Amino acid sequence: GGWSRKMPVNVEFNLRKKAIPATPATQLVEVLVKACEEFKQDPARHCLRHKKKELDLTLPLRLANLPNGASLDLQPLTEEEQRARIVSITLQLEDGRRFQKGCHCSTGLFDVLQIFEDLCGTRLVTGVNMLDEVPGVTFMNKTLEGEDLRKSSLLNVGLVSGGALLKYRLRRSEPAEAEQGKPEDSESAQQSLSRPEEKMDDVASSAVPEKEFPVGQAASEVEREVAVSPPAPTKGQEENPKEEGE
């Protein structure tokens, strides 16, 4: 039977062993990447073998025909084997057009987009303001963008050889102001609670500041109160409100 339960994979390299956490759904390429991190090796230059047979890194453990608790060997590739790790990438743009090109598995996703810019004649990442527009790539229902896009390679997302469809998208981020001012909002709320007299004076004398409404009161309500507030009572009328309040 195959790998059937959650348990670590033992990986050996140069007479040293590391236990790599895994489940039956874990892809072997993930095991390779994590093992190379532990042993400080380049995953693009190494492979996993079981009893001298190289394993297909695109398979999950449950389909790799490995017994539970199997020990794997991390071994270096020859120069020729390294060069053969080419992924045939099909990039789908937002307008539905598709372009294809082969890239080495060690190529970063951001670099892949730069390569495809020349091929499709469309700006994908060059000159993009990373604060206002965020390019991203979706593969197997997972989207990588921003720093994740820059730090990830084809191999990191499980692509070693064969073909794959990547979907490009350009996300328009919210205005920077939406991120700023949040601490000021909370400060304003605290000030409006601690100094209500000053805030009411501000409302009466000028336009209502957007960030200084009393807690729980919408801007439209404050504006309505200002618009319909009665004129100041005359000296003869001052006593009536007091009596009503009593």
CATH code assigned at 122: 3.10.20.90
Q: Is residue 98 included in any domain, yes or no?
A: yes
Computed over its alpha carbons, how large is the radius of gyration of the chain?
31
Q: Is residue 245 included in any domain, yes or no?
A: no
Question: Which parts of the chain have pLDDT scores under 70?
Answer: 1-2, 129-131, 174-246
Q: Is residue 159 included in any domain, yes or no?
A: yes
Do both 48 and 101 map to the same domain? no
pTM of the model: 0.62
Q: Could you say which of 172, 190, 225 is where a domain stops? A: 172
pLDDT of residue 231: 52
Three-state DSSP class for 59? coil
pLDDT of residue 2: 67
Q: Could you say which of 29, 51, 83 is where a domain stops? A: 83
Number of domains, the chain: 2
Do both 71 and 128 map to the same domain? no
Separation CA 63–CA 19 (nearest Å): 20
Residue 197 amino acid letter: E
Residue range(s) defining the domain that contains residue 46: 9-83
Strand partners, 76: 46
Do both 153 and 139 map to the same domain? yes
Give the Cα-Cα-Cα angle 18, 22, 28 (nearest 5 degrees). Answer: 85
Do both 52 and 102 map to the same domain? no
Per-residue model confidence as pLDDT tens digits over 104-116:
999 999 999 999 9
